[in-house]
Amino acid sequence: MATRRYRSKQYGQSEEELSKKFIRTMLGIIGLVVFVILALFVFAPTFGSAFGLLSKNRNDTEEAVTVRIRPPTLTNVPTATKDTKINLAGYANEGETIKLFVNGPEVAQTTTGADGIFNFISIELIKGRNTVFVKAVNAKNEESEPGETFTIVLDTEQPKIEVESPKDGSTVKNLDKRITIIGTINEKATLKINDRMVIQKPDLTFEYILGVKSGDVEIKIEATDEAGNKNEEIIKVKY
């Protein structure tokens, strides 16, 4: 009998301890749920503001890229010229200020009209290579990227003509009534012989067969380089 009472008492204590543990566990779960709910109410607006700020900054960046103004465009820019001062023209958005840069620094400003056209008058060049480009500035003082850069060569020298054959004052003898004219020009040029177009070879030489009659023959060779400089050579032969 003593043994049974001891066991019953022992079992009773175990059930009581389990009940207390269960209650403590439930209280812990309830407390955790309450904490999570409070945390959501307290910290959710902060997280929302942070995400909103990130989103706003991203949108602002995208908008800044979108509204960047278009660079202006120069038109009909010569690759070479014999003139020390030239005029330049182009187009951009209406009412923009256009800045012209020559060989590095800004040299002039103008404003586009209602049609978007702009003009620069009497822009001075240096001998040899010149680089030019333009930028646009709108009413908000926003500046565009540089437009296309162009290279203009200022060349004031005439092309040099060297005639290898026939020599001036010589007599040409053959039976086909033709004279073969052979020579060289020191640069790329447009070539005419007695007012007829002649093709210049890639090595800058030329060769042309001219039909002639017996007697005195005048051969006029005209060369015009890319800058517009002209030169003329006249040789006289007998046939």
Looking at residue 67, its pLDDT comes to 56
pLDDT tens, position by position, 81-128: 999 999 999 999 999 999 999 999 999 999 999 999 999 999 999 999
Looking at residue 42, its pLDDT comes to 65
Closest residue by Cα to residue 146 from 82, 56, 199, 73: 73
Residue type (1 letter), 108 = A
235, 167 contact by CB (below 8 A): yes
Enter the pTM of the model.
Answer: 0.65
Fold assignment, 73-154: Immunoglobulin-like (2.60.40)
Residue 8 has pLDDT above 50, yes or no: no
- Structure token pair of residue 51: 């995400």
Fold assignment, 161-238: Immunoglobulin-like (2.60.40)
Looking at residue 114, its pLDDT comes to 94
Cβ within 8 Å of residue 108, ≥6 positions away: 99, 100, 120, 123
pLDDT band with cut points at 50, 70 and 90 for residue 65: very low
The full set of domain ranges for the chain reads 1-67, 73-154, 161-238
Fold matches, 73-154 and 161-238:
yes
Closest residue by Cα to residue 81 from 236, 233, 224, 232: 224
On average, the pLDDT of the chain sits at 86
